[in-house]
Amino acid sequence: MVKRDSYGLPSEGGTETLGQVRFAKQTVWLITIALGLQVAALAQESTNSSPGKPTAKKIGDNLYRIGAVTVDAKLRAVVFPAKVNQLVGLIEYAIVTETGKVHESFLSTRVKPSDIHAGLVLLGAKMPAKIFTEIAWQVDEKWKRKPITECVGQYPLEAASELDDKVTEQSFDLKSKGWTWTGSRSRNGKLTADVSGSILSLQPDMDALALIEPMVDTSRHGSHVWPKRAPKLNSSVQVFLRLEFPKEKKADVPPKENERP
């Protein structure tokens, strides 16, 4: 029997359960659907920049589209495209738009924050809500999936303040695993996240859609990407925002020492 990890994807240990197989198949199917819709939606946005409130279009059973965002009511997930924007240096955001603070963000996207916000509202989320984030990308034509928090590490500010590469022997894993969706603020009838471009923030930012929970102590520690755990620079990824955390078959195992950059 194929061995899979706690997210229902192939791994080196453990045997799959029926629920995990179904979840994996649904995930791959959702990614396939989302990719086709996102290409068309982003192409349309490039030729039509007229402002307007996000509108949801039903495209199948439990499936909706809002701009380039795909909403799966069954999986309770919001899915949208992004790319790996930064692997080296200090980061203060996990995701921003391409017009946001791309000089300090792991991922960037062309998707409007207001469309992501509308997708979570469509799923019935009420602020503040706990959300879990994952990315999926292809490696040798197979989909790999991982929580965004596993790609992010922290370091003591004094250990790498003068270094471009913030990964040091004193770096450690991000203790926070989830995010608090605050929904950003509205100013003059417009979501401020659409202006700032802030989506998932690793620092206090009232304009971001979601904040890391618990919040990183930015007075003592900075954040960086673990390059060996993340997709390659400029790789295309699919971002999953979920209201329910995938059920794990066994407890998390700390990364092996040789997995560290």
Whether residue 179 is contained in a domain is answered as yes
Confidence of residue 53 (pLDDT cuts 50, 70, 90): confident
Whether residue 39 is contained in a domain is answered as no
Whether residue 76 is contained in a domain is answered as yes
Whether residue 27 is contained in a domain is answered as no
Average pLDDT of the chain is 82
CB-count burial class (<10 Å; 0-12, 13-18, 19+) for 178: middle
Whether residue 221 is contained in a domain is answered as yes
Convert the pLDDT of each residue in 168-201 to its tens digit: 999 999 999 999 999 878 888 889 999 999 999 9
198: phi then psi, degrees, rounded to nearest 5: -85, 125
Which single residue is written with the structure tokens 């960037």?
A: 108
Whether residue 219 is contained in a domain is answered as yes
Convert the pLDDT of each residue in 75-106 to its tens digit: 999 999 999 999 999 999 999 999 999 999 99
Q: Report whether 165 contacts 227 (CB < 8 A).
A: no
Q: How far apart are CA 101 and CA 95, in angstroms?
A: 9
Whether residue 85 is contained in a domain is answered as yes
Biggest alpha carbon–alpha carbon distance for the chain: 56
User: Which has the closest alpha carbon to 122: 241, 254, 246?
Assistant: 241
How many structural domains are present in the chain?
1
Half-sphere exposure of 163 (CA within 13 A, CB side): 13
Range of the domain at 115: 70-246
Query: What percent of the chain has a predicted confidence (pLDDT) above 90?
Result: 64
Structure tokens at 197: 């471009």
Whether residue 79 is contained in a domain is answered as yes
Convert the pLDDT of each residue in 101-148 to its tens digit: 999 999 999 999 999 999 999 999 888 999 999 999 999 989 999 999
